[in-house]
Amino acid sequence: MKFIPTLIVALLISNVAFAQEKKPNQKKGSEIKKFINAYVSAFNQEDAEKVQACFHFPHSTLNQEQEFTVVNDASELELESFWNLIKTDFNWKSNKVKKIQVFASTEDTAMVGLTMEGMNGDGKAFTIAKGFLGLSKQGGKWGFSQVSWYFTPVE
């Protein structure tokens, strides 16, 4: 049981060390932002195949309840049930990107902050989603290797 907290600490330390070493360059930042926007667009279109293609497997997730999970396969993402839940419970229609911040990047890794609003069918925001995303490039393609999300209701 001590393995998971140790792994989380190791991941965070490695990310902090990485972020202090590398500053994002303008060209790489625009490429990363283009990838993030394509992910959000695929999510909004409820295109499970395109969303799954934005992730590397395995990848790690950390949710706001501080539950750490390793996702080994695309089928574990359970996108259809998630879309059904947010549509039913919140009248979700789409996510709107508010801010993408590239904290650090190299040719094949990046740490990114993403802030989005979840929009309902009336065009009103009902939640703020903040993500801290670790990206890596494999086979020349960007993908999520670490994701951490936190959601707060809009007041």
Which CATH number goes with the domain that contains 40? Answer: 3.10.450.50
Report residue 80 as tokens.
Answer: 């259809």
Specify the number of domains making up the chain.
Answer: 1
Provide the pLDDT for residue 155.
81
Given a cut of 70, the residues of the chain with pLDDT beneath it are 1-28
Query: The domain containing residue 74 runs over which residues?
Result: 3-153
Strand order in the sheet with 109-120: 68-71, 55-62, 141-153, 125-138, 109-120, 92-105
Provide the pLDDT for residue 8.
46
pTM over 0.85: no
Name the 3-class secondary structure at 26: helix
Provide the pLDDT for residue 27.
63
Nearest 5 degrees, angle CA 110-CA 97-CA 102? 20
What are the φ and ψ backbone dihedral angles of 96, each rounded to 5 degrees? -115, 120
Provide the pLDDT for residue 24.
54
Cα–Cα distance measured from residue 55 to residue 100, given in angstroms and rounded to the nearest whole number? 18
**Amino acid making up residue 60:** S
Provide the pLDDT for residue 21.
45
pLDDT tens digits, residue range 37-60? 999 999 999 999 999 999 999 999
